[in-house]
Amino acid sequence: MTSTAEIAIPQSAEDITPSWVQQVLQKDLPGIIITEVDVKGTINQGEGFMSDMVAFEAVGTRNGTTQRYSLVAKLTDFKRPYAVMTKWSKDFHTHIEKHEVKFYSRVVPDLLSVATPSTERKSTAGNEDGEHHPPADPLFFPKCYFAATDPVSMVSVRVMENLKTQGFSIKPDRQPLSREEMMLTVGAFAQLHGLSHRLELRTGKPLPEKYGWNVTVSEATTMTDVTILQYQTAVKDFAAAFPGQAALASRLEKTDPMVVFQDDRRLKVISHAGCWINNIMFKYAGDEPTDVRLVDWQSVLYQAPTFDLVFLFLCNATWDVFHNHRDDILAHYHRKLQETVGPNESSDLQSYTLQQLMADFKADCWRGVIIRFMHRIPANPDVLQMIREIQEWGVL
């Protein structure tokens, strides 16, 4: 186990010991004494390959009562990614892992600092059953107790609440999102976008400057090479799946996928920028989705609010949801956005009308098409119908 100035960074599950867990929890839970740690092992769901998700249970005492904590240590894995993304460099991998560390260690506390009392997290010391539960009024991300990167090994660690033990799960086998699941997810986006905008207004400084969100030349080159290769391969797969769509395939083939990240003068917010099925976890009451968490924050970008929305629709929705429920879902996002920004904030987002949002969404849908192809999400008849409708709007 290598260490930083304060808390050691574990290199493997063997380094997750009672004394280390106690150090990690002390900031949020002063006075906690951890007496036992039971490491359950890797619990990676879906196609996650960036990190090793090690689940563990910790038992201790605080304020004279026994407390139990279900946690996950997310550790950088330098082996698995290169079996999938052979052209990725270690430097780029390190960069995006540190990106998530920065999100949890710097961005999240700042977002909470501008949250209204109705959305602000409130810590709980424990409950009658002795089980430590998450705050009663949670936000859209998992509670993170510790996030840091070791400067020598470059291994990053994030210690978070175990959402799986709280009843959250991802949808299996790339199942698309229902209207109700989309509603929950865009509500989470509205919180993220609204709070980040409030934060920028309060600090008076563009967030990329505040957090140093910049990519080196070598990292950008790696990202470009991988993105172009992924996109080109996906276009070929699309052409093979739909041989009658030669003209459309040709149009897609001539598109530069990197144009999706081109800057523009529109208002921007912190965007998750990676919300496909495997990064969205839901809780259900029977078949009804009741809560949502967004996970895997390595790809955070500073983009227009519609960036996350077109990503969500083009990568996760069915044709029925896209065509028949799009307006209702966008209206729900807009209401939640205005609630989050609040009536007392004089800002561009406060005056951002639903009509403007819907127009921007349509104009940006071509970005969603490119993003889907960049991530090689398999083409199907639903996405073909979506692309045809987008073509009718004259934006692709």
* Domain count within the chain: 2
Q: Answer yes or no: do 14 and 121 share one domain.
A: yes
**End-of-domain residue from the set 138, 162, 186:** 162
Q: Answer yes or no: do 140 and 184 share one domain.
A: no
pLDDT at 282: 96
Record the pTM. Answer: 0.90
Residues spanned by the domain of 315: 172-392
Q: Answer yes or no: do 109 and 230 share one domain.
A: no
Q: Which residues pair with 61 in a beta bridge?
A: 33, 66
Q: Answer yes or no: do 364 and 280 share one domain.
A: yes
**End-of-domain residue from the set 162, 182, 212:** 162
Tokens coding 122? 């409130």
Q: Answer yes or no: do 150 and 214 share one domain.
A: no
pLDDT at 283: 96
Q: Answer yes or no: do 20 and 129 share one domain.
A: yes
Contact in structure between 161 and 307 (CB atoms under 8 Å): no
Q: Answer yes or no: do 186 and 115 share one domain.
A: no
Please tell me the distance from the alpha carbon of residue 256 to that of residue 304, in angstroms, as a whole number. Answer: 20
Q: Answer yes or no: do 305 and 239 share one domain.
A: yes
Please tell me the distance from the alpha carbon of residue 77 to that of residue 85, in angstroms, as a whole number. Answer: 13
The residues of the chain scoring below 70 in pLDDT are 2-5, 44-49, 80-88, 117-138, 214-223, 345-346
Q: Answer yes or no: do 87 and 236 share one domain.
A: no
Segment 234-289, tens digit of pLDDT = 999 999 999 999 999 999 999 988 888 777 788 999 999 999 898 999 999 999 99
Q: Is residue 167 part of a domain?
A: no
Residue spans of beta strands (DSSP E) within 239-297 = 269-271, 280-285, 288-294
Please tell me the distance from the alpha carbon of residue 28 to that of residue 62, in angstroms, as a whole number. Answer: 12
Please tell me the distance from the alpha carbon of residue 24 to that of residue 146, in angstroms, as a whole number. Answer: 6
The rounded mean pLDDT for the chain is 87
The CATH number linked to 187 is: 3.90.1200
pLDDT at 305: 95
Tokens coding 29? 């839970």
Q: Answer yes or no: do 109 and 179 share one domain.
A: no
**End-of-domain residue from the set 162, 180, 195:** 162
Q: Answer yes or no: do 101 and 185 share one domain.
A: no
Please tell me the distance from the alpha carbon of residue 223 to that of residue 255, in angstroms, as a whole number. Answer: 17
Q: Answer yes or no: do 120 and 184 share one domain.
A: no
